[in-house]
Amino acid sequence: MNTEKMVHMANQIAQFFEPYPRGEAVDGVADHLQKFWEPRMIAQIRGHVAAGAAGLNELVTEAVQKLA
């Protein structure tokens, strides 16, 4: 998947969870990624986070680190 599109999709998930308390928001993003993203998409976003997480909402970064 195109990295820009992946970042956009992940940030949309984070925007949905932003009104929640921080811990719930991070858990919500992580749960969504586990349930609805294919393993290769999760591997790609893990790689993106490891490379500096350019453009990613902080909730996504924390959620991905929680998945690892």
Query: What is the total count of domains within the chain?
Result: 1
Write the pLDDT tens digit of every residue in 4-31.
999 999 999 999 999 999 999 999 999 9
Q: Given the structure tokens 């393993």, which residue do they identify?
A: 39
- At residue 61, the pLDDT reads 98
- At residue 34, the pLDDT reads 97
Kindly state the average pLDDT of the residues 53-63. 98
Domain that holds residue 56: 3-67
41-48 contacts: CB < 8 A, separation 24 or more?
A: 41/1, 41/6, 42/67, 44/1, 44/3, 44/6, 45/6, 45/10, 48/3, 48/6, 48/7
